[in-house]
Amino acid sequence: MRDVAVIGIGCTPFGEHWGASFRNLFIQAGALALEDAGLSGEQIDALYVGNMSAGRFIEQEHIGALIADYSGMATRHIPATRVEAACASGGLSFRQAVIAVASGMEDVVVAAGVEKMTDVGTGTSVDTLAGAADREWEGLVGATFPGLYAMIATDYMHRYPLTREQLAMVAVKNHFNGARNPIAQFRQEITVETVLRSPLVADPLRLFDCSPITDGAAAVVVAPLDRAREFTDRFVKVRASAQASDTISLHDRADISRLDATVAAGRWALSDAGLSHRDIDLVEVHDCFTIAEICAIEDLGFCRKGEAGRLTEEGVTALDGDLPVNTSGGLKACGHPVGATGIKQICEVVQQLRGEAGKRQVPGAEIGMTHNVGGTGATVAVHILEVV
Amino acid sequence: MRDVAVIGIGCTPFGEHWGASFRNLFIQAGALALEDAGLSGEQIDALYVGNMSAGRFIEQEHIGALIADYSGMATRHIPATRVEAACASGGLSFRQAVIAVASGMEDVVVAAGVEKMTDVGTGTSVDTLAGAADREWEGLVGATFPGLYAMIATDYMHRYPLTREQLAMVAVKNHFNGARNPIAQFRQEITVETVLRSPLVADPLRLFDCSPITDGAAAVVVAPLDRAREFTDRFVKVRASAQASDTISLHDRADISRLDATVAAGRWALSDAGLSHRDIDLVEVHDCFTIAEICAIEDLGFCRKGEAGRLTEEGVTALDGDLPVNTSGGLKACGHPVGATGIKQICEVVQQLRGEAGKRQVPGAEIGMTHNVGGTGATVAVHILEVV
């Protein structure tokens, strides 16, 4: 298998785009990524796109072809494939592009992610998003994602030393970072009080514990590492790509406070890369809810179970801490257009490794990790990127 | 890249399964494929599944993880990925599995396809299926798939010598073959009169020109060719895998009677395989409507434009003809559970190449082709399989 590099990145602003359609959004992101790589559309060999639920949000399937068409690439008939794994659709899109290049099947491949969640025609976002859980055993009895993660939080706080204030500090940190990210949906700093005084959504989770409903798209271009310099000198190597599954229902797990797919994918990625946790300079984790960031830091193995709350309070995961987590602002402050999030995480780490993250730059960052979760952890993708 | 082999196949009966759910169906197909390969679930390294629209049909996304879970494979946390390209979802699932094995990333991979279209909760099948076309420029103005293919048929019959009777003969042939296929939804033979007297759906297409609404699932197991003999002596080599895209809207094409993605994918597959049309012993084409089979035979290059009607009438494409087309009964008689169809085509060709197709066996078949279309041709997957 060939080594693979990311040679271009592009991301729309995340937010409520009442003036931009699904297809507008991905064209913006794709154009930005091609421009960043110094490529024209004619140089792209294949396209992968992550999208969770355009079928329900905008009654449109066949997303790969739609994107190839509206970005002008269908005239050359390039392969265009949608992959879906709920909120991990973006991470899996990136992974499929990496596999296609690593195999030698394709050379220059775009991996994109997109979701249009506001200004949509049918149903509620909450019900559509519940399609990421088990419809028969969770959705039909009324479980929503805030409800499912609230169960995780309740179980976790019963068993481990995590205070309500520490949980709030995850959101405070991510808003601090998001305030320094031009593409973030929420660019204001908040306090622990902001979180604790926000409306209760699903006990113990409050509004400011939850990632929002968001429109957005992100795209990256990957190519063989040994050809990357033909295109750019700002490329980043894909050091590892790992993907794991778990039961789709929370109630089928031995321990609902531990996401075993995160444990597995994290271990596989570090093992494939031949790296230890100490080598990782920053990590983008899937903080769809504040409790999810707490679990992710622990399940990825950066600390023991029960310690992430204290580390957050001590500032270890802050921008200037030993292990900056979610320098982009995470899903909480950037927003969470579900299909796009996994690709946005790649964009953030690439920006950091290229030293282009501006006010949220982690000085000297050389190796970064992304962690993208589908549902309550039935799919997890972990990638490690490295400056070479 | 490594050569890849199909080492096991499994397919549920296609039809109206009022007693079987989405998850029941894919478990049946997966179990059959594993049994056929002599494998246990513990030997599977990864899973790809093609599905068009479970989000709209049964309000369930996150299909890869759901299948990994319900087939017991999530306990080992194997990667499980859904791919979607409307009615070509199955073909793309197979192709992704082939790429994963060819790359060396995985060894033993299941490629599956599934769709549950009857006994579903919301919306109409016609509207859900219209999600394979351009919702903004086709669906919203009322275009349905029978309507879109009727436009193709009207244009085609205006320009080329195809009689209404010849078009009906496509359905007659496919019902003849389907009557010999234990998994087919429609196992009765019909006559040209049956077609011509059936209700008009979208002029000139009548009910018996259209593939039906169907529940079903199919699965195959792929592995490196050089390891295939460890598992079975009835393996079949994947000689070529090609995928092409085109405009999603019919009105954006220079010629609506020619599916350029079929032309491209067909050429690429033959070229990659180093084969000519004369080497192909049988082909499964995507006859979602009778006119689609006529176009496919020509666009794949088996004859010139305008000749396929005559060839059908002369019996060239019949079971005992020079180029048997849709020995399975095709989408017309087998039924068309959209996500499963592309995998069912692989199952049929493998059965033929293994000499296990019973009453519809093509004697001495050594090389077969499959042709799977999404929408009106915005995605096409072509595969060539070979006895070794």
Sign of CA dihedral B185, B191, B196, B198: negative
Instruction: Tell me whether A84 touches chain B (CB under 8 Å).
Output: yes
Most distant CA atoms of chain A, gap in Å: 58
Task: Give A198's pLDDT tier (boundaries 50, 70, 90).
Answer: very high
Number of H helices, E strands in chain B: 14, 11
Would you tell me how many other CB atoms lie within 10 Å of the CB of residue A327? 28
d(CA B214, CA B344): 13
Predicted local distance difference test score (pLDDT) of residue A121: 65
Which chain A residues have a beta carbon less than 8 Å from that of B139? 59-60
Predicted local distance difference test score (pLDDT) of residue B195: 98
Interface confidence, given as ipTM, is 0.97
Instruction: Tell me whether A72 touches chain B (CB under 8 Å).
Output: no
Question: A182 preceded by cis ω (within 30°)?
Answer: no
The CATH architecture annotation of domain B134-211+238-386 reads 3-Layer(aba) Sandwich (3.40)
Instruction: Tell me whether B1 touches chain A (CB under 8 Å).
Output: yes
Cβ A66–B245 below 8 Å, yes or no? Answer: no
Question: Do the Cβ atoms of A287 and A174 come closer than 8 Å?
Answer: yes
Q: Please state, rounded to an integer, the average pLDDT across all residues of chain A.
A: 97
Listed residue (A180, A265, A185) closest to A13, CA to CA = A185
- In angstroms and rounded to an integer, the radius of gyration of the C-alpha atoms of chain B is 19
Task: Give B321's pLDDT tier (boundaries 50, 70, 90).
Answer: very high
d(CA B177, CA A106): 38
| Model confidence pLDDT, tens digit, residues A279-336 | 999 999 999 999 999 999 999 999 999 999 999 999 999 999 999 999 999 999 999 9
Predicted local distance difference test score (pLDDT) of residue B205: 98
Active-site annotation holder among B175, B286, B336, B383: B336
Cβ A69–B378 below 8 Å, yes or no? Answer: yes
Predicted local distance difference test score (pLDDT) of residue B120: 76
Cβ A245–B60 below 8 Å, yes or no? Answer: no
B271: pLDDT strictly greater than 90:
yes
The CATH architecture annotation of domain B4-123+214-236 reads 3-Layer(aba) Sandwich (3.40)
Question: Do the Cβ atoms of B83 and B343 come closer than 8 Å?
Answer: no
Task: Give B119's pLDDT tier (boundaries 50, 70, 90).
Answer: confident
Predicted local distance difference test score (pLDDT) of residue B370: 99
| Model confidence pLDDT, tens digit, residues B141-156 | 999 999 999 999 999 9
d(CA A234, CA A353): 9
| Model confidence pLDDT, tens digit, residues B28-52 | 999 999 999 999 999 999 999 999 9
For range B117-137, the mean pLDDT: 86
Interface of A with B in 13-42 (CB under 8 A): 21, 23
The question of whether A87 is a catalytic residue gets the answer yes
Which chain B residues have a beta carbon less than 8 Å from that of A59? 56, 127, 130-131, 135, 139
B83 backbone dihedrals φ, ψ, rounded to 5°:
-120, 150
What H or E segment, with its residue span, contains residue A350?
Answer: helix A338-353
Q: Which two tokens stand for residue A327?
A: 């320098």
d(CA B253, CA B118): 33
A129-211+237-386 has which fold? Peroxisomal Thiolase; Chain A, domain 1 (3.40.47)
Question: Do the Cβ atoms of A146 and A205 come closer than 8 Å?
Answer: yes
Question: Do the Cβ atoms of A3 and A224 come closer than 8 Å?
Answer: yes
Listed residue (B128, B208, B225) closest to B174, CA to CA = B208
Listed residue (B102, B379, B47, B357) closest to B237, CA to CA = B102
Residue % of chain A over a pLDDT of 70:
99
Q: How many Cβ pairs within 8 Å bridge chains A and B?
A: 212
Would you tell me how many other CB atoms lie within 10 Å of the CB of residue B164? 15
What type of residue sits at position B153?
Answer: A
Cβ A80–B379 below 8 Å, yes or no? Answer: yes
What type of residue sits at position B201?
Answer: V
Q: Which two tokens stand for residue A78?
A: 């390039």
Per-domain residue ranges for chain B?
Answer: 4-123+214-236, 134-211+238-386
Residue % of chain B over a pLDDT of 90:
97
Predicted local distance difference test score (pLDDT) of residue B262: 98
Q: Count the residues in chain B.
A: 388
d(CA B47, CA A234): 34
Give me the helices (H) in A179-318, please.
192-196, 228-231, 260-273, 290-299, 308-314
Interface of B with A in 117-156 (CB under 8 A): 127-128, 130-136, 139
3-state DSSP assignment of residue B386: strand
Among the partner-chain residues A60, A65, A243, the one whose CB lies closest to the CB of B374 is A65
The question of whether B17 is a catalytic residue gets the answer no
Chosen for mutation from A245, A259, A376 (greatest number of chain B CBs closer than 10 Å) is A245
Predicted local distance difference test score (pLDDT) of residue A119: 79
Question: Do the Cβ atoms of A342 and A92 come closer than 8 Å?
Answer: yes
Closest chain A residue to B63, measured at CA:
A85
Task: Give B123's pLDDT tier (boundaries 50, 70, 90).
Answer: low
d(CA A386, CA A278): 14
Lowest mean pLDDT among A68-82, A123-137, A270-284, B200-214: A123-137
| Model confidence pLDDT, tens digit, residues A206-219 | 999 999 999 999 99
Question: Could you tell me the CA-to-CA distances from B350 to A10, B6, B184, B187 in Å, in that order?
Answer: 43, 8, 16, 21
Predicted local distance difference test score (pLDDT) of residue B122: 59
DSSP for B330-373 reads: HHHHH---HHHHHHHHHHHHHHHHTT--GGG--TT--EEEEEEE
- β-pair type (A46-50, A80-84): parallel
Same fold, B4-123+214-236 and B134-211+238-386: yes
Predicted local distance difference test score (pLDDT) of residue A123: 60
What H or E segment, with its residue span, contains residue A54?
Answer: helix A54-58
Q: What is the least distance, in Å, from the CA of B24 to any CA of chain A?
A: 12
| Model confidence pLDDT, tens digit, residues B280-302 | 999 999 999 999 999 999 999 99
Which chain A residues have a beta carbon less than 8 Å from that of B103? 1, 99, 102-105
